């Protein structure tokens, strides 16, 4: 599944982020807590460099708590300030402002010593498409400013948003890297909804999802679909079992595999089965860090 997806507005967005970086005091990097490594854009480190950074692990309510704690430690060791949030429900948003104050404390102390008047912290918010940036901004601002939508590519331009008196946010369009060198990353992004369904082979994504559950949550897989498979059951037999259990049949009483694929992806993506973190910290290569 060779995924390449780099629309012109994303190339432009990268240039704009680079140009606007000098205007901000810190950067909010928003990632999906279910894929905290795979939802990071490798370009971001090149562009942001040493600018103080807060890593916001969004959709915390959908991720595995034990794995999330490991990723929190990972980002902390990198020198960033990690904050778990759920932008949809508005959880932990007070911690976002406190984290911004923490990472910019030294800069504002220097400004104070120079006799400069205090002002709001200016932060840039960056992240790949569909990680919840617009929802987060609207929650922080307590009004609908940024467009939201459950599909990648909703935000198309930069805009400044005031968050009370203490914070000003610069929203940026979602930036995705030009090519996925690791095709597993592409499957994870697709399974969590960060890539448009029209540009991927959804059967491969569903196979990955099923095999992940077979290895990491077999009991819940069997329970949810009312089936009985093993960790080494071939994926096609798992599809057959789900199709029979859900009555997903085509003409001639054959299994409707397209419908099975759709059900698997939708139910994993919408957290209908269990809380999953697809980036298992212990399985990540040292090269990925």
pLDDT digits (tens, 9 = 90+) for 56-90: 999 999 999 999 999 999 999 999 999 999 998 98
Tell me which of 2-16, 35-49, 56-70 is least confident: 2-16
User: Which of 171, 190, 213 corresponds to the end of one domain?
Assistant: 171
Cβ(124)–Cβ(30) below 8 Å: no
User: Which of 149, 171, 193 corresponds to the end of one domain?
Assistant: 171
Residue 146: phi and psi, rounded to 5, are -90, 140
Domain count, the chain: 2
Q: How far is CA 26 from CA 36, 40, 108, 118, 136, in A?
A: 20, 17, 12, 16, 17
Q: What confidence score (pLDDT) does residue 129 get? A: 75
258 — pLDDT class (breaks 50, 70, 90)? very high
Residue 21 lies inside a defined structural domain of this protein: yes
SS3 103: helix
Residue 179 lies inside a defined structural domain of this protein: no
Residue 274 lies inside a defined structural domain of this protein: yes
Residue 271 lies inside a defined structural domain of this protein: yes
The answer to pTM > 0.85 is: yes
Same domain assignment for residues 104 and 229: no
Same domain assignment for residues 67 and 112: yes
Residue 58 lies inside a defined structural domain of this protein: yes
Residue 274: phi and psi, rounded to 5, are -165, 175
pLDDT in tens, 134-155: 889 888 888 766 555 444 444 4
Same domain assignment for residues 110 and 210: no
Domain around 103: 8-171
CATH number of the CATH domain containing 274: 1.10.1580.10
CATH number of the CATH domain containing 36: 3.40.50.300
- C-beta pairs of 232-240 under 8 Å, 24+ apart in sequence: 235/207, 235/210, 235/211, 238/210, 238/214, 239/206, 239/210
């Amino acid at each position: 599944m060779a995924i390449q997806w780099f629309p012109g507005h994303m190339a432009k967005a990268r240039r704009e982020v680079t140009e606007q970086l000098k205007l901000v005091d810190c950067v909010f990097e928003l990632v999906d807590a279910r894929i905290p490594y795979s939802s990071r854009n490798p370009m971001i480190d090149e562009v942001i460099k040493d600018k103080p950074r807060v890593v916001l692990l969004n959709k915390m309510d959908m991720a595995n708590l034990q794995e999330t704690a490991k990723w929190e430690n990972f980002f902390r060791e990198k020198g960033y300030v990690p904050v778990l949030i759920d932008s949809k429900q508005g959880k932990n948003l007070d911690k976002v402002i406190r984290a911004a104050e923490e990472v910019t404390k030294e800069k504002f102390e220097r400004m104070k010593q120079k006799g400069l008047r205090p002002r709001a912290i200016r932060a840039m918010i960056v992240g790949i498409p569909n990680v919840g940036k617009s929802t987060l901004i609207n929650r922080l601002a307590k009004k609908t400013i940024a467009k939201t939508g459950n599909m990648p590519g909703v935000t198309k331009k930069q805009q400044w948003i005031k968050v009370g008196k203490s914070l000003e946010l610069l929203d940026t369009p979602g930036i995705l890297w030009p090519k996925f060198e690791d095709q597993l990353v592409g499957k994870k992004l697709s399974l969590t909804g960060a890539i448009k369904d029209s540009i991927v082979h959804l059967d491969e994504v569903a196979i990955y999802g099923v095999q992940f559950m077979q290895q990491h949550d077999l009991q819940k897989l069997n329970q949810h679909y009312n089936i009985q498979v093993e960790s080494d059951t071939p994926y096609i037999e798992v599809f057959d079992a789900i199709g029979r259990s859900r009555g997903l049949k085509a003409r001639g009483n054959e299994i409707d595999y397209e419908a099975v694929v759709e059900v698997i992806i939708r139910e994993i993506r919408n957290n209908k089965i269990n809380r999953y973190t697809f980036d298992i910290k212990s399985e990540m290569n040292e090269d990925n860090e």
